[in-house]
Amino acid sequence: MIKKEKGLKIATIGGGSSYTPELIEGYIKRKDELPIKEIWLVDIQEGKEKLEIVGNLAKRMVEEAGLDWEVHLTLNRREALKDADFVTTQFRVGLLDARIKDERIPLSYGILGQETNGAGGIFKAFRTIPVILEIVEEMKELCPDAWLVNFTNPAGMVTEAVMKYGNYEKVVGLCNVPIGHNMLESKLLGKNPEELRFVYAGINHHHWHRIYDKNGKEITKEVIDKLFSNNANIMENIKFIPFIEEQIRDLEMLPCGYHQYYYLTDDMVKKELDEFAKNSTRAEVVKKLEEELFEIYKDPNLKHKPEQLSKRGGAYYSDAACELISSIYNDKRTDMVVSTRNNGALADLPYDCVVEVSSIITASGPQPLNFGKFKPAQRGLLQLMKAMEEVTIEAAVTGNYGKALQAFILNPLIPSGNIAKKLLDEMLVVHKKYLPQFKEVIEKIEKNN
């Protein structure tokens, strides 16, 4: 039970993130809904400078809003978690340098390199899942009633690991992609998002959706028409390559922006190889953007979220997290797209797995809306991707090399066979600092090389 009488304590793991100002802005917007007393921003030693920069901006924002909230900056995670009511996670194990390796190493093999898809997404899970499970163990001890709101990528796999291997139920995964789609597609129709109903189903970064007007009439086909007639880019932080119109019309649903990697693999690999050659992969671009953002954040006269943050690629993440927290705290029953336990909402996937689905957010957490069954085209790819996620999570927890190789071979973006094994081995060695569960495996690889 959340302790309303004393005010809320909210802890953010990865508090030095460039997204934190949006999180603070979201709390300020909801100051009448959330009786916040303390905000704790926690980071690691390597992130101390960024924590101090963004933390001081957070303090200025709160002061400018005329609020008496306490904003604490700390490297002591246990101190931040003690008696917290909500915990948000937005950390990146290995920082952006690890993401650069996740993108560039596969591309050196001519294989797609991306933060949450293909080999890069699998290795981000390998590095992240052991850390989130450590955090969960500390939460069980220090704040056992707290809700964990995770938007650390890969958000779906991280959330499933918390539920299945951390045995922690009060967790919700969050992604900004559905919000971006809602805003773009509403604009194409000349309407506000509130005038429409969006129904999502799938898994994180791999979902499809339908759209209905306020009278309940499905207008998905009309939106597909407008997407193609306007040649509209459906995701700002992925270089736009138009989908094949006949395929999308046959789906009779709108794809996720990340489906470009699966429906247009050859085109996307060519595009990314061009960026690779120019040292301008997305991770390298983001690293430069972050450096510029933190220079802006240093300005002692800055007391609000700067516009430049929208270029970072994660717009709306933090605001969605604040709305989720408010909906749980106030039992608002907001309709949101979240990663949560399936519980039969998607008939094509296991009952106990985590899916990303339209849900009603209540005081007892998300209540996923029943979607039913997919057509074969979506179902086949979705079931393959979910199996890949399950194997990836198991490998991340156990450090089992065979399971890691199975994840690579299952993934549609990684060619199977010896090239998959060679890529896996190289990435294990490169990331060994952050993969203690694979220590013996990596030692064997290094010895054989």
Annotated binding site for substrate: 99, 153
DSSP string, 80-120: HHTT-SEEEE---TTHHHHHHHHHHHHHHTTS-B-SSSHHH
Two tokens at 88? Answer: 């948000």
106 contacts: CB under 8 Å, gap ≥ 6: 112, 113, 118, 119, 120, 414, 423, 427
User: Between the CA of residue 45 and those of 56, 61, 82, 285, what are the distances in Å?
Assistant: 17, 24, 20, 24
Q: Which residue has the tokens 């991707």?
A: 385
Distance CA 284, CA 267 (A): 20
| Cα pseudo-dihedral 16, 22, 26, 27, rounded to 10 | 30
The question of whether 262 is a catalytic residue gets the answer no
Binding-site sequence positions = 99, 153, 175, 205
**Among 19, 165, 168, 258, the one annotated catalytic:** 258
Binding-site sequence positions for Mn(2+) = 175, 205
Distance CA 419, CA 415 (A): 7
Two tokens at 306? Answer: 């700067």
Of the candidates 415, 355, 377, 319, which has an alpha carbon nearest to the alpha carbon of residue 21?
319
Q: Which stretches within 298-375 are classed as H helix?
A: 317-330
Asked if 334 and 182 count as a contact pair (C-beta separation under 8 A), the reply is no
Catalytic residues: 258
